[in-house]
Amino acid sequence: MVGGAPRSSARWAIAAFFCVMGFLAAGCDRTGPTVAVPGGKSPTIASLVPSATDLLVGMGANDHLVAVSNYDRDSNLPQVGDYQAIDWEKISRIHPNILVTYYGAGHAPVGMEQRSRTLGIQILNLKFERLSDVYSAIGALGQACAEPEKADAELKRIQTGLTKVHESVAGEAKVRAVIVTEASGLDFAGRSNYLDDLLDEAGGENAVTAPGYVTLDREAIAALKPQVILQLLPAADDATVAKTKAFWDSFPDLSAVKEHRVWLFRETYMMTPGSHVAEVAAKFSAALHPARRASTQLSASIAAR
């Protein structure tokens, strides 16, 4: 999710992505003033998935966007839904050709397909669980908006960036690390997700062995013994950063804390599986392999207090 006013907590950023993993409710016929229909380039797209919105912007195909999700706070386009409700009345006024969604296999919200067919809108259902899903989504979005060349160029740019990161750490020993996804310090990215994929590209080994995303208590965190802590705090304010620093200071025996290898990342895109995944991998790599850090600007480390 790109640019705009800063948000107060990493909780918003992770909700903005993971909200679309839940069921998108079948509808919400809200009344209100008539929506001014943007003059999007045909085919026109309404994106209920912030990562898809980010990819369309990244590939230079955002002129096809006519509506976005309620979590795309940085867009001036009409917001037409989220994981709890789809504003079918507003969508019917805007009338995009394509509605981009994200729901699990066999879990299409009741009535969603029928309402889309009635309006003559095609559903493009994507997923963003793994890095490979990001690649697939780029191709699918490029085909959907009839911009395959732009999609190919974006895919090449991202894969070239990731290849450069991977090659830069070839032969280096894997660094035991954790990826923290919430300002509280208790929520982590485990295995088999796109953040874990990026950590692997960056020359890291996830100390969390459970799949998916997990919440741990203090005892379990101490038992992980990470060499590096990658704390994701998209657009966090200074008060949130201060609280997070205090949390990690309460683990003085962790080697990552003792050696000042707790890194705080405040970039807005840090938890969006979209057009910035290569940049995220590069930041991970620079934090894991400090001898190579000169080529990548990092967010502030706790060591820089």
Q: What is the pLDDT of residues 66-84, one digit of tens each?
A: 999 999 878 899 999 876 6
Would you call the peptide bond into 43 cis, given omega within 30 degrees of 0 as the criterion? yes
Q: Which two tokens stand for residue 47?
A: 């994106």
Q: Tell me what the mean pLDDT of segment 92-119 comes to.
A: 86
Alpha helices in the chain (DSSP H): 10-18, 50-58, 88-94, 112-119, 131-144, 148-168, 194-201, 218-224, 238-249, 255-258, 277-288
List CB contacts of 83: < 8 A, sequence separation 6 or more: 19, 20, 21, 22, 23, 24, 25
Among 155, 138, 12, which residue's Cα sits nearest to residue 74? 12
* Domains of the chain with CATH codes: 10-153 (3.40.50.1980), 171-304 (3.40.50.1980)
Q: What is the reported pLDDT for 105?
A: 63
CB 248 within 8 A of CB 257: yes
What pTM, to 2 d.p., does this model score?
0.84
Point out which residues pair with 231 in neighbouring strands.
180, 264
- Angle separating helix axes 148-168 and 194-201, nearest 10 degrees: 50
Question: Taking 50 as the threshold, does the pLDDT of residue 31 lie above it?
Answer: no
